[in-house]
């Protein structure tokens, strides 16, 4: 099989395998991961009320990790990013590290907001409790 050069700037095209075996293998991996996610989802649905919040949280984190694994397979194999030059992979994946801060900071904020809703931690003293400092004669101009 000949590689078709797209433009003279591209000196080397990645070798594409002849068979479709890898594509179908990833299809089955993605389907399997989705089924595991669904099983965990149903586990939470049927047993969620009897479980401690820690177990529920761990299950949700596991579902999240499985989703990230699915995303990795889609990007790496279906979108062929894994076959690109390493520098190109880096220019795309390194900025996405921003999401680590983005997710932690904002969910933390949402949770703190809930804590303030449920306690009076966020309330301000009412107007009667605020001490008024009498104005001294010298300050008045």
Partner 1 sequence: MSTTTIPAGTKWWNGGKSPFNASYGKVMMWYFLMSDAFTFGAFLISYGTIRFSVNDWADPNKVFNSFPFAGHANLPLAFVSLMTFILIFSSVTMVLAVHEGHKMNRKGVEKYMILTIIGGAAFLGCQAWEWTHLLTGEHVTLLNDGTMSVLPTTASSNPWGLPLAHEAMVAALQKTPHEQLVNIASTIHHGGTEVAHNTSAMSNPELINMISNSEIHATNLGRPAFGSYFFGITGFHGFHVLSGVVINIIMYIKTKLGHFDQRGHYEMIEKAGLYWHFVDLVWVFVFLCFYLV
Residues that bind partner 1 (CB under 8 A): 1, 4-14, 16, 20, 23-24, 27, 30-31, 34, 37-38, 40-42, 44-45, 60, 63-64, 67, 70-71, 74-75, 77-81, 84-85, 87-88, 91-92, 95-96, 98-99, 102-103, 106-107, 109-111, 113-114, 117-118
Q: What letter would DSSP give residue 8?
A: T
Cβ at position 125, least distance to partner 1 in Å: 23
Torsion of CA 28, 30, 34, 35, to 10 degrees: 20
CA distance 40 to 59: 7
Instruction: Write phi, then psi, for 94 (nearest 5 degrees).
Output: -60, -45
Query: Which residues, 6 or more positions from 121, have their beta carbon under 8 angstroms from its beta carbon?
Result: 115
Shortest distance, position 51 Cβ to partner 1, whole Å:
14
Nearest distance in Å: CB 71, partner 1:
6
Which CB atom, from 87 or from 126, has the smaller least distance to partner 1? 87
CB of 66 to partner 1, least distance (A): 9
Instruction: Determine contact, residues 81/75, Cβ cutoff 8 Å.
Output: yes
């Amino acid at each position: 099989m000949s590689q078709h050069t797209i433009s003279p700037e591209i000196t080397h095209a990645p070798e594409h395998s002849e068979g479709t075996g890898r594509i179908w293998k990833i299809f089955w991996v993605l389907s399997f991961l989705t089924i595991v996610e669904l099983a965990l989802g149903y586990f939470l649905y049927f047993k969620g009320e009897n479980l401690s919040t820690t177990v529920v949280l761990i299950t949700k984190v596991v579902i999240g990790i499985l989703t990230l694994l699915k995303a990795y397979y889609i990007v790496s194999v279906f979108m062929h990013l894994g076959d690109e030059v390493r520098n190109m992979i880096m220019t795309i994946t390194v900025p996405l590290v921003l999401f680590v801060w983005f997710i932690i900071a904002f969910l933390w904020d949402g949770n703190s907001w809930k804590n303030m809703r449920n306690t009076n931690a966020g309330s301000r003293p009412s107007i009667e409790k605020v001490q008024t400092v009498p104005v001294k004669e010298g300050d008045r101009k």
